[in-house]
Amino acid sequence: MKTFLSLVSCVLPIMLFAQTPFDGTWKTDFAESKLSQKLYEYSVNNGLYDCKSCAPEINVMADGQDHAVTGQSFDTMAVQIVDANTIHLTGKKAGNIQFETTRTASQDGEILTSTTTVYAADGSQAYKAEGKYTRVSKGSGGSNATSGSWRVQNINEDAAGLFSTWMSAGDKLSMSTPAGISWEGKLDGKEYRVKENSTRETVSLKRLGERSIKVTIRRDGKIEWVEKITVSSDGRKMTSIVDNKLTGRVSTYVAEKQ
């Protein structure tokens, strides 16, 4: 359940009949969710952009041009310095824009607003997400006001980023979102390709109980994140504990059945 990536997954076995507890459409409720409080760290100084909290760390020139990055879901990033309090980032994959983000520090420098538009590779509905962050430490002298370390306060997303639909068929379960992310697989621990115009991401699924499963996402064979998903006994609430193995962030997302 994502984010900015976020994101979601799952399945149930052959013994189950027509439906599983996961079947249906779910909407993430950020008011009930608990986001990781691990800090985000950025630096924009002397014409360079550095995302210290990215995994792996991103270091590119802040000249508005596309620069190659490795180990990310995108392969180039352009960083434009708009003014002393604002920067604009564009991430591309195979030349296509994957996301655009504008980060703006408040005039007193204590609040960072990050507004992102995410574009689906398959042309599905784009969606926007806005995050508010509070300052923990300042950047070095002379750096852009977006520099420093920040702690997330809250996240708001358009509907396309909040909804996911799950469907079971025999021993398979599929998940899809309006933003074009989808997968289908069996609860057999094998890897299945994530259908996001990517050959680099796979999902594997494991049953933990009647209403609980574990989802593991790998990119290039390396575990990105592990998600434990549990549906409440009344079938109305889905809780996902997402452990991002690359960044060390653990967040809990709560979704309501629609």
Break the chain into its structural domains and give their ranges: 24-34+162-257, 40-159
Cα Dmax for the chain = 63
CA distance 106 to 91: 24
- Four-CA torsion 102, 27, 23, 210, nearest 10 degrees: 100
Alpha helices for the chain (secondary structure H): 159-162
pLDDT tens, N- to C-terminus, the chain (258 residues): 444 334 333 333 333 334 789 999 999 999 999 999 999 999 999 999 999 999 999 999 999 999 999 989 899 999 999 999 999 999 999 999 999 999 999 999 999 999 999 998 777 778 999 999 999 999 999 999 999 999 999 999 998 889 999 998 877 888 988 888 888 899 899 999 887 655 578 999 998 998 999 999 998 889 999 999 999 999 999 999 999 999 999 999 999 999
> Sign of the C-alpha dihedral, residues 116, 178, 183, 21?
positive
Report how far residue 23's alpha carbon sits from residue 96's, in angstroms, rounded to the nearest whole number.
33
Q: What is the 3-state secondary structure (H, E, C) of 202-219?
A: EEEEEEEECCEEEEEEEE
Tokens of 74: 């995108």
Would you state the pLDDT for residue 10? 34
Backbone angles phi, psi at 159, to 5 degrees: -55, -40
Asked whether the bond before 56 is cis by omega within 30 degrees of 0, the reply is yes
pLDDT score for 220: 85
Q: Please tell me the CATH code under which domain 24-34+162-257 is placed.
A: 2.40.128.20
pLDDT at 169: 83
